[in-house]
C-alpha cells in the first residue's frame, strides 16, 4: 500500500523542466509546452557549466557548431512548424536572463509565469526568434 501512495504522490508533484536560455534546443522545447499534464516548475541552468565540468564545449568544433546552428536546429524547428532565425552574436551568455528569472521567482512563487508565457527569456538572452 505504501508503494502505491508514493506513486500517487509522484504523479502530483510538479514536473521540473531544466533548460538553458542560450540553447536552441531548449528554446524549441519551451515552444512546445502549452498545457502540461500537471504543474510545471521551470529551472533555468547553464549548460556550458556542465560541459566545462567535464572538459568539453558544446559548440567548440566549427563543423559541429555550423551543423547545429545552420542545419539541425532549423530542421527541428520546421518539424514543429517554426521558422528558426538565429540572431547575430548567437549564442549569448545565459547568466543574465537566468538571474532575472530566479529573481522574479523569488518575489513570489509563480511570478515568473508571465515571463515564461511571453517568451521574454529568449529575447533577454538575445535568443532565437521564430515566425
pLDDT at 75: 94
Q: What angle do CA 91, 84, 68 make, to 5 degrees?
A: 55
Mean pLDDT by runs of 10 across the 131 residues of the chain is: 54 86 86 81 89 83 88 92 80 83 81 56 46 42
pLDDT at 110: 67
The model's pTM: 0.72
Structural fold of domain 17-29+42-124: Glutaredoxin (3.40.30)
Cell 502549452, residue? 34
**DSSP notation for 21-61:** TT-HHHHHHHTT-SS-SS-EEEEE--HHHHHHHTT--TT-S
Residues 78, 80: Cα–Cα separation, whole Å = 5
pLDDT at 79: 94
Amino acid at each position: 500500500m505504501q508503494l502505491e501512495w508514493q506513486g500517487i504522490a509522484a504523479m502530483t508533484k510538479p514536473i521540473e523542466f531544466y533548460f538553458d536560455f542560450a540553447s536552441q534546443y531548449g528554446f524549441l522545447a519551451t515552444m512546445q509546452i502549452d498545457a502540461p499534464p500537471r504543474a510545471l516548475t521551470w529551472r533555468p541552468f547553464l549548460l556550458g557549466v556542465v560541459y566545462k565540468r567535464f572538459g568539453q564545449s558544446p559548440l567548440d568544433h566549427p563543423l559541429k557548431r555550423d551543423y547545429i546552428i545552420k542545419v539541425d536546429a532549423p530542421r527541428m524547428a520546421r518539424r514543429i512548424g517554426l521558422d528558426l532565425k538565429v540572431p547575430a552574436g548567437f549564442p549569448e551568455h545565459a547568466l543574465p536572463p537566468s538571474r532575472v528569472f530566479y529573481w522574479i521567482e523569488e518575489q513570489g512563487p509563480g511570478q515568473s509565469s508571465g515571463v515564461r508565457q511571453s517568451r521574454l527569456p529568449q529575447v533577454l538572452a538575445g535568443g532565437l526568434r521564430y515566425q
